[in-house]
């Protein structure tokens, strides 16, 4: 389980598509001293298991289903990715509970400057997720815990502050790019209970 507070970025240094499952290797400057083989790491919001660790490299096996449902299948060597190690019992939770189980992808429709130091990003509404996305609710985009600012039938928007733009891959998104979306687990359960 994660909090959606990105700890840093990594760089894709190897993609081995010839093997099954697909092997992804990422180089990072994060302190990996307490990360071991078997640890969970969120990569662009996708919970992956470390299968190999070197000093500053982590390798992950990625299942075909994960490639179909997330943006990981479109990563290229040199791509920058958001990284977050799993929560430890007793840690503060600064974002919201994020499981790394991506529900869909959404395409960036527009990005607009909101004053000097903020931006509004508008995304296409993923099919079937409209009822889970509410104004002032939580959503994870590319593994980043964000507050939903606006919702329409066809889109939703979030607002980014400078720190988020500095630390995450969201700063490099251009209209047309896709991100992994995980709806808030509490919203999922609330909607499903009410629907029964």
Domain span holding position 134: 104-195
Q: Looking at 35, 57, 85, which one is the last position of a domain?
A: 85
Instruction: Look at residues 30, 28, 29 and name the one whose alpha carbon lies nearest to residue 12.
Output: 28
For residue 91, what pLDDT is reported? 80
Q: What is the pLDDT along the chain (196 residues), one digit of tens a residue?
A: 999 999 999 999 999 888 888 999 999 999 999 999 999 999 999 999 999 999 899 999 999 999 999 999 999 999 999 999 999 888 878 888 899 999 999 999 999 998 878 899 999 999 999 999 999 999 999 999 999 999 999 999 999 999 999 999 999 999 999 999 999 988 888 887 887 7
Which two structure tokens, joined as six digits, stand for 5? Answer: 């507070």
Asked if residue 119 is part of any domain, the answer here is yes
How many Å apart are CA 88 and CA 76, to the nearest integer? 31
- Whichever domain contains 60, its CATH number is 2.40.30.20
Residues 75 and 114 in one domain: no
Same domain? 111 vs 156: yes
- Whole-model pTM: value is 0.93
Q: How many domains, the chain?
A: 2
Dihedral over Cα of 30, 34, 36, 40: its sign: negative
Token pair for 46: 């996708």
Is residue 143 located within the same domain as residue 81?
Answer: no
Report yes or no on 118 lying in a domain. yes
Residues 59 and 27 grouped into a single domain: yes
- Show the tokens assigned to 42: 């969120």
| DSSP annotation of 10 | E
């Amino acid at each position: 389980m994660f909090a959606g507070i990105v700890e840093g970025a990594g760089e894709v240094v190897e993609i081995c598509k010839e093997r099954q499952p697909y092997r992804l290797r990422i180089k990072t400057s994060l302190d990996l001293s307490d990360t071991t083989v078997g640890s969970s790491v969120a990569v662009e919001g996708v919970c992956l298991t470390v299968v190999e660790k070197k000093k500053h490299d982590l390798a992950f096996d990625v299942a075909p289903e994960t490639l179909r449902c997330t943006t990981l299948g479109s990563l290229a060597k040199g791509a920058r990715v958001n990284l977050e190690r799993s929560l430890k019992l007793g840690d503060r939770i600064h974002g919201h509970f994020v499981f790394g189980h991506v529900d869909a992808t959404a395409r960036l429709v527009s990005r607009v400057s909101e004053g000097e130091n903020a931006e509004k990003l508008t995304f296409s509404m993923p099919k079937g997720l409209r009822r889970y996305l509410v104004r002032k609710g939580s959503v994870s985009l590319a593994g980043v815990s964000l507050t939903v600012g606006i919702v329409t039938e066809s889109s939703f928007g979030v607002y980014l502050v400078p720190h988020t733009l500095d630390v995450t891959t969201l700063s490099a998104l251009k209209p047309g790019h896709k991100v992994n979306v995980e709806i808030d687990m509490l919203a999922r359960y609330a909607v499903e209970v009410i629907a029964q």
